[in-house]
Chain A
């Protein structure tokens, strides 16, 4: 069956431009998570969705970052006015439901490079 997919796989952009990263979770998974992983670092939690709502946005680094999810499925992470420190791999994960003990399945990530 299809896993979590993300697009684009790689994105190179110039400082100051806006970018949109897309995540397609596993069908039927109600929970969706976004993380950021800088080179050689661990995963940094950004936001999670339960259905279309985001109960916890505490990890978003600044107001340049926003995310939405529509139809309980696809999610988009938008970064406005990108900065060089935004360069990282952005990982999306989904789980059947949000909650204790549920495995998160990760997509392959989008590697973002801001020049």
Chain B
């Protein structure tokens, strides 16, 4: 089993749609969680951290479910500019700060 798993998609949605991605992780003692965004042939950039209580940043909402070992990302009112690959990132508790990236979920938002 991979340490971090994501549905690769692609998700094809119209502008204005709401779309949700899930990501599961295998290490129950994992410490920190993030969503990064990667545009085609570009480097990843932080989208948002994921906190235990859930957190929201504009149209984006991230949630963590420790009991079921998954994190989610909800995008409301999708824009064309949201088209990208969304990477789930986990720092497992292995005594250091190794960071594990999921393979990513591709999103295409169409007019």
Interface locus among A12-20, A38-46, A63-71, A74-82: A38-46
Give the distance in Å from the alpha carbon of A42 to the alpha carbon of B100 in the complex: 10
User: Does A98 interact with chain B (Cβ within 8 Å)?
Assistant: yes
Given A33, A42, A48, A107, which contacts B103 in the complex, CB threshold below 8 Å? A42
Give the distance in Å from the alpha carbon of A33 to the alpha carbon of B100 in the complex: 11
Nearest residue (CB) in A for B44 is: A106
Of B32, B46, B99, B100, the most chain A CB neighbours within 10 A belong to B99
Give the distance in Å from the alpha carbon of A59 to the alpha carbon of B97 in the complex: 12
- Interface flags, B26-45, vs A, CB<8A=1, else 0: 00000110100000001111
Residues of A35-61 at the interface with B, using a CB-CB cut-off of 8 Å, are 35, 41-45, 48, 50, 55-56, 58-59
Residues of B59-111 at the interface with A, using a CB-CB cut-off of 8 Å, are 87, 91, 94, 96-104
With a cutoff of 8 Å between Cβ atoms, the chain B residues found around residue A43 in the complex are 44, 87, 101
**Contact call A108/B43, Cβ cutoff below 8 A:** yes
**Contact call A35/B98, Cβ cutoff below 8 A:** no
Number of residues on chain A facing chain B (CB within 8 A): 25
Q: How many B residues are at the interface, by size bracket? A: 20 to 34
Q: Knowing A48-B97, A48-B99, A99-B97 touch, does A104 contact B31 (C-beta < 8 A)?
A: no
How close is A4's CB to chain B, nearest CB, in angstroms? Answer: 8
**Contact call A42/B87, Cβ cutoff below 8 A:** yes
User: Does A21 interact with chain B (Cβ within 8 Å)?
Assistant: no
How close is A44's CB to chain B, nearest CB, in angstroms? Answer: 8
Q: Which A residues are within 8 Å of any B CB, using their own CB?
A: 31, 33, 35, 41-45, 48, 50, 55-56, 58-59, 91, 98-101, 103-104, 106-109
Give the distance in Å from the alpha carbon of A63 to the alpha carbon of B43 in the complex: 27
Given B34, B96, B101, which contacts A48 in the complex, CB threshold below 8 Å? B96
With a cutoff of 8 Å between Cβ atoms, the chain A residues found around residue B55 in the complex are none
**Contact call A59/B43, Cβ cutoff below 8 A:** no
Give the distance in Å from the alpha carbon of A56 to the alpha carbon of B45 in the complex: 23
With a cutoff of 8 Å between Cβ atoms, the chain A residues found around residue B96 in the complex are 48, 55-56, 98
